[in-house]
Amino acid sequence: MYSKALALFMFLAAGLAAAGCATIAKGTTQAVAISTPGAPCTLTSAVVGSKVVSTPATITLDKSQENINVVCKKQCFQDGVGVIPSHTESMTAGNVLVGGVIGFGVVAVSGAMNKYNDNNQFTMVPIAGCQA
Q: What is the pLDDT of residues 88-126, one digit of tens each?
A: 865 544 555 555 554 555 444 444 678 999 999 999 999
In this prediction, residue 47 carries a pLDDT of 86
Cα–Cα distance between 22 and 44 in angstroms, integer?
A: 26
As a whole number, the mean pLDDT across the chain is 77
> Each residue of 72-91: pLDDT tens digit?
999 999 999 999 999 986 55
Taking the CA atoms of the chain, what radius of gyration do you get in angstroms? Answer: 21
pLDDT at position 28? 86
26: which residues sit within 8 A by CB, 6+ positions away?
89, 91, 112, 115
pLDDT category, 18, cuts 50, 70, 90?
very low
| Residue 24 pLDDT | 44
Instruction: Report the distance separating Cα 47 and Cα 63, nearest Å.
Output: 9
Q: CB–CB of 14/101 below 8 Å?
A: no
**Nearest by Cα to 28 from 98, 115, 120:** 115
Interatomic CA distance for residues 12 and 4, integer angstroms: 12
pLDDT at residue number 8: 55
